[in-house]
Amino acid sequence: MGGVGKTALAQQVYNDARVTKCFDVKAWACVSDVFDLLAVTKKILETVPGHLSCEGKGLNWLQEKLKEHLAGKKFLVVLDDIWNENYNNWTILLKPFQCGAKGSKIVITTRNFRVAEIARAPPYTLKVLPGKACLTLFALHALGVENFDQHPDLEEYGLKIVEKCQGLPLAVKTLAGLLSFKVSRQEWEDVLNSKIWDPQEGSNDILPALKLSYLHLPSNLRRCFAYCSIFPKDYEIERDELIHWWIAEGLLGGKEGKNRWNTGLKFFNELVSRSLLQKSSSSESLFLMHDLVNDLAKSVAGATHFSSGELEGDQTNASFARHASFIPTDYIAPERFKIYRRMGGLRSFISLRKQSGDDERSCLSQEVLCDLLLALKHLRVLSLSYYYISEVPDCIGRLRHLRHLNLSYTDIETLPMSIAALSNLEWLVLRGCDRLIKLPEGMEKLINLRFLDITDTPKLGAIPHIGNLEGLEMLSNFVVGTENGSGLKELKNLNNLREELCISDLHMVQEAKDANDACLHTKEGLCRLTMRWTEDFAGFRNEELEAKVLDFLRPHRNLENLVIFYYGGLQFPSWLGSPSHVNIVCLRLHGCRRAEALPSLGQLSSLKELYIEGLNAVVRVGPDFYGSNSPFPSLVTLEFKDMPLWEDWSQCVGTEEVGVAFPHLEHLVIQDCPKLKGRLPSQLNSLIKLEIDSCPHMDASPSIISLPSLKELSFGGCNVGVLKRFVNLTSVTALVIEDVAGLTWLSHGFTSSLIKLEMKSCKELMYLWQDRDVIRDLTCLKSLVVQDCPGLVSLAAGEEDTELPVKLETIRVWSCDNLEKLPSKMHALSSLRDLTIKCPKLVSFPETGIPTSVITLRITECKMLQSLPIIGGLSSHPEEPSSSSSSRNNHVDMMSRLQVLTISGCDSLPASPFSEGGFLPATLRELHIMNCRGVESLAEINVDRLQSLQEIDISNCEKLRSLPQDLHTLSHLTSLQLWECPTLELECFPPLPPSISKLHLWGCPKIKALPDQLHRLTCLRDLKISGCESITRFPDGGLPPQLQKLTVYKCGNMKQPVREWLTPLTSLEELYIDGSSIGGGGGGVGEEEDLVRRLPSSLLHLILEDMPNLERLSITLPPSLRILWIQNCPKLRELPKDEDGHGHGLPPSLEWLEIDGCPILEERCRERTGCYWPLIRHIPYVRLSDTCI
């Protein structure tokens, strides 16, 4: 049931501090009814701490990275609002989670019991809220208290209203929001007696409580709510953007200027308070609509609002639409815009962010864009962000009603002159247009312009006469120029500016009085101000002029955030540290290389963040920096970076009269200060995180550093003597030590609470611990990383009888070139989950083996390794060394948790690495063997025991001759990949299990046959055969008809006619094939044209390569084809013909056309000159050889 509180309960659990303490990693993804594997995986990865950028990455890459982040860790993942019932999709989605630690949890919210069955999750059926709890919730949201003690006369009404909500919290909250702080009995009685509760009134799927809440909205607010129907379900709404659209559409009434924004903000907050909008868990600035609320919005909006994702081909009510959204794909076929061109009365066309969640730009042809603009003459809002648009059609000037234009993150270099004709334009958003060089002449004519966002447009020059636009409220960047009308004094009359302003190219100012004329001190609406000079200090800099300019650019005292880049003066102005700027919260001084002293900042009472970087001339930081009494009373974060001459940091000694400096400092960074000799401030009692890097001369005197609250310490490129001063730091939980000369081992001082320890690039480190007492004190250590420490010979001195910290869950020893052995008692680490070893001199693992608790084991580039490790020891009883292999296997099966085994670059392994002692546990799910030059046989693997195995990946094993037998018994195997195994010779390929969904054979020239009964593999979806020159035909019975992806490439002896295997593939979506793989290698005109003739109608992607005899694509291509890529077909001259014999048989769905190595056809497709150009110019992405057109 919707609205019962499934997501709310999951959020309560997810955000509970007690729950957070139980997990290493948390992630949340809202899935919705459109189950996109790529998008869901990306959402999960983006919420995992420390993730890489996901833009433009495929599913395999995302899953591998997610697996790396989760390996061996205890995680909590919430998958919210699941509808998918496809078991195969579930299997793929859950793969990365199988390597997590014991106790990991995946929580699913769904309305569908079938989902719980498929996910094999025990369902918890959330019941409706009891009446008493509903009444408490109602009172809390309506009256701000949990009872009716202060309003007993309303309790009876409250009880009856709550009864009508049928125990649904969403309905209770929404109705309570409607009555929020209203204490009139008549108002409560009106809600109770509304006709909306009658069965005939509420007969559709919309909850009566929600409909009633809508009906009680003021008329303007109703229109604003209905406008939200353009958003698809689970779309994350940006607050400010939505308010701008409301204003542009005139939904807020006739108020002007700042009042309109405040009204819009009030309306938005009202919808939030009534639970019609709710905060997203991913960002403070993003909001969501509950699915039932989204249904309500669409119901009340009717045909006047159109949401992308609905049936775009249904044109029944297109003419009634006034507001429409569109969610793009990477390449947008023209047919998707057909319905929009029928919306002649449309007032809003908004291209939303992709549902996949990435910020990759979409391709849209110039022709399609122009046709769209010509059709939509009444637009007030046009948003086309994240497109490969290089030129805006001149016809945009005809949109005389346009008020909001968003072309952010496009490739435009300029705008057409016709923009100046848009006299009603109020918002122009060009953020992230990194190729934008200039704006057109006549911009000063846009007298109604209120908002100009040109953030991140580095090539954009000055905008002449912008001072004439006195109504401007938002100007993200003012570029100073030297031409008439582009100087600083253009800012003089822009007194309505609010929020943020950046002033760039201040080095172009020629007279200081221009800065004075800018009158920044009068602009009380500005909260954030950035001033930027040139980064070039090599040429002449007028230090005196720059100092006067900065002095005259004194901002209003309301300013909260100030950033100064590359200022060239010797001193900072007095106003910068003046207590009158009481509201400054964040200050950044960056690259001011000639400033000789820091300003007096200690008396900025509200300052919380201070970043100082690249002040090359500063030598001392002393009393002037602090000011007088109680300096930096609110500072939380302080960073000093890249200060090459800084030598002394004088401490401010706290007294009763002066007060302690930095009483609330939590995060301190000192980086790249090579001459700094001073000490840290002595009284940093609130410090939580300390980072010191590349400060080799910091004071190493015997004085002790005491930081009682410190949790995270990162120390690198410094004197080992300073490190030894950090003693009694028993509160530290995370320690990173990097490039510390002279460090040979760790000592006492910060051990008892340590959870995470990383040692990197410590060249003289011989071992981590010399003293066993230190190891015994490490009772909390869970993660250990040792990387690039060439002197390391062992983890602990005297390691033969030394135990490692018992709670270790992750060990990574990487590129430690002299480490030859691992601790003999490693097998006793019963909590170890993730073990990664990359040590080229390691010969063997301990005879006692590795712990049975290990889930993920990676052995990489261990060139000298001669045998694989034993899982869990030699036997269950060490005193019985003669235990049989069978009993040992049984012991391992009972105890081992190993799921992922990766062996890569281990050249000294024996020819049969699994023949003795190298057996695999029954828990194994993934086996990856790569770049192992000595491995010849895998036949010794006992697959009968590996019934959990799902993936086998073997690549670049140049001597491999045999595979495991009885692969068909692996009942859960889904993927088998064999890459570049040139000596693997198979007369008959081993039979495969029916569970297999992916089979890749790449660069295996001696494999002579595919598995028999291939057509019976009903789960097979992805088949790739490349460089397998000994395969001559597909097995009897052909290929499975449900196959979706097929690659047949460089199989020069494939003699089977196309008609025998291609026609039955009625579900095929992707085909990659070359001429050498058709009809016995090059096959002739007949086979190549027969291939084109028999293409399945289901095909979406088609790649044709190396077909020397193909002359024409004479038959209409599959109707849903999106990508067509043709390479090295030198005789190809004709595109397909349609039913009438004309030359336009290309499907309207085509989004990508690439032609390479086809000289005749390329010439015919040339832009403007080719005879085929009119037929292909509508395609979003067209590439001819190396030229994208």
Place of tokens 């392994």: 909
Place of tokens 């849209």: 364
Q: What percent of the chain has pLDDT over 70?
A: 91
User: Which of 39-43, 385-389, 493-497, 870-874 is least confident?
Assistant: 870-874
Using pLDDT thresholds of 50, 70 and 90, give the confidence band for residue 296.
confident
| 222/105 same-domain check | no
> Is pLDDT larger for residue 996 or for residue 178?
996
> Would you list the DSSP string of 561-597?
EEEEES---SS--GGGG-TT-TT--EEEEE--TT--S
Nearest partner of 726 among 758, 704, 693, 694, judged by Cα = 704
Q: Is the model's pLDDT at 908 over the cut of 90?
A: yes
| 824/954 same-domain check | yes
Other beta carbons within 10 angstroms of residue 56's beta carbon come to 10
Nearest partner of 320 among 302, 298, 335, 299, judged by Cα = 302
Nearest partner of 652 among 677, 612, 682, 675, judged by Cα = 682
Q: What is the pLDDT of residues 318-362, one digit of tens each?
A: 888 999 999 888 888 888 888 888 898 999 999 998 765 556 888
Mean pLDDT of 466-490: 93
> Is pLDDT larger for residue 177 or for residue 397?
397
C-alpha–C-alpha distance, residues 515 and 517, integer Å: 5
Residues 6+ positions from 907 with CB-CB distance below 8 Å: 863, 931, 932, 933, 934
Q: Are 975 and 997 in contact (CB under 8 A)?
A: yes
Is residue 278 domain-resident? Answer: yes
Place of tokens 């979806």: 1021
Other beta carbons within 10 angstroms of residue 834's beta carbon come to 24
Residues 6+ positions from 316 with CB-CB distance below 8 Å: none
Other beta carbons within 10 angstroms of residue 837's beta carbon come to 22
Is residue 105 domain-resident? Answer: yes
Q: Are 563 and 530 in contact (CB under 8 A)?
A: yes
Residues 6+ positions from 900 with CB-CB distance below 8 Å: 67, 71, 98, 99, 855, 856, 857, 858, 924, 925, 926, 928
Q: What is the pLDDT of residue 99?
A: 78
Q: Are 1053 and 1032 in contact (CB under 8 A)?
A: yes
Nearest partner of 1105 among 1136, 1070, 1129, 1086, judged by Cα = 1129
Q: What is the pLDDT of residues 932-986, one digit of tens each?
A: 999 999 998 888 889 899 999 999 999 999 998 889 999 999 999 999 999 999 9
C-alpha–C-alpha distance, residues 243 and 228, integer Å: 11
Among 676, 699, 722, the domain boundary falls at 699
Segments forming the whole domain that contains residue 18: 6-118
Is residue 74 domain-resident? Answer: yes
Question: Token digits for 1003?
Answer: 């660069």
Q: What is the pLDDT of residues 78-112, one digit of tens each?
A: 888 887 777 777 778 888 888 788 888 889 888 77
Q: Is the model's pLDDT at 881 over the cut of 70?
A: no
Per-position b or e across 590-614, b if 16+ CB within 10 A of its CB = bbbbbbebbbbbbbbeebbbbbbbb
Is residue 943 domain-resident? Answer: yes
Is residue 1123 domain-resident? Answer: no
Q: Is the model's pLDDT at 718 over the cut of 60?
A: yes
| 827/957 same-domain check | yes
Q: Are 1164 and 1172 in contact (CB under 8 A)?
A: yes
One-letter-per-residue 3-state SS of 342-408: CCCCCCEEEECCCCCCCCCCEECCHHHHHHHHHHCCCCCEEECCCECCCCCCHHHHHCCCCCEEECC
Beta bridge partners of residue 785, listed in sequence order: 758, 812
Q: Is the model's pLDDT at 183 over the cut of 80?
A: no
- List helix spans (H) across 599-715: 623-626
Rg over CA atoms, the chain: 34
Angle at 1046 between CA 1044 and CA 1051, to 5 degrees: 170
Domain of 234, CATH number, reads 1.10.10.10
Among 665, 699, 733, the domain boundary falls at 699
AA identity, residue 497: L
C-alpha–C-alpha distance, residues 508 and 1116, integer Å: 61
Question: Token digits for 126?
Answer: 């959330």
| 94/223 same-domain check | no
Using pLDDT thresholds of 50, 70 and 90, give the confidence band for residue 891.
very low
Nearest partner of 1118 among 1157, 1152, 1147, 1076, judged by Cα = 1147
Which of 134-143, 421-430, 794-803, 1176-1185 is the most confident on average?
A: 421-430
C-alpha–C-alpha distance, residues 707 and 4, integer Å: 48
Q: Is 1168 left (phi over 0), alpha (psi -120 to 50) or beta?
A: left
Residue 151 phi, psi dihedral angles, 5° rounding? -140, 65
C-alpha–C-alpha distance, residues 943 and 973, integer Å: 11
C-alpha–C-alpha distance, residues 952 and 976, integer Å: 5
Other beta carbons within 10 angstroms of residue 25's beta carbon come to 18
Three-class secondary structure of residue 1103 per DSSP = strand
DSSP character at residue 844: -
Is residue 873 domain-resident? Answer: yes
Mean pLDDT of 669-695: 90
C-alpha–C-alpha distance, residues 257 and 275, integer Å: 28
Residues 6+ positions from 97 with CB-CB distance below 8 Å: 70, 75, 77, 104, 106
Q: Is the model's pLDDT at 384 over the cut of 80?
A: yes
Q: Are 1182 and 1153 in contact (CB under 8 A)?
A: yes
Mean pLDDT of 1106-1120: 86
AA identity, residue 822: L
C-alpha–C-alpha distance, residues 706 and 727, integer Å: 7
Is residue 690 domain-resident? Answer: yes
Among 684, 699, 714, the domain boundary falls at 699
Environment class of residue 758 by beta-carbon count within 10 Å: exposed (0-12), middle (13-18) or buried (19+)?
A: middle
Is residue 70 domain-resident? Answer: yes
Gap between the terminal Cα atoms of the chain: 51
Q: Is the model's pLDDT at 800 over the cut of 70?
A: no
C-alpha–C-alpha distance, residues 278 and 727, integer Å: 47
Residues 6+ positions from 485 with CB-CB distance below 8 Å: 464, 465, 467
Question: Token digits for 651?
Answer: 């401490």
Residues 6+ positions from 21 with CB-CB distance below 8 Å: none
What's the mean per-residue pLDDT of the chain?
A: 86
Domain tally, the chain: 4
Q: Helices 239-248 and 257-273 meet at what angle, rounded to 10? A: 120
AA identity, residue 842: L
Q: Is the model's pLDDT at 381 over the cut of 70?
A: yes
Domain of 87, CATH number, reads 3.40.50.300
Q: What is the pLDDT of residue 8?
A: 84
| 952/831 same-domain check | yes
Place of tokens 């391709």: 363
Question: Token digits for 804?
Answer: 């490692």
AA identity, residue 274: R
Environment class of residue 410 by beta-carbon count within 10 Å: exposed (0-12), middle (13-18) or buried (19+)?
A: buried
Give the CA-trace dihedral at 523, 529, 535, 539, to 10 degrees.
20
> Is pLDDT larger for residue 333 or for residue 908?
908
Q: Is 364 left (phi over 0), alpha (psi -120 to 50) or beta?
A: beta
Reported as type and span, the H/E element at residue 68 is helix 59-70
User: Which of 663-677, 732-746, 791-805, 841-855 is least confident?
Assistant: 791-805
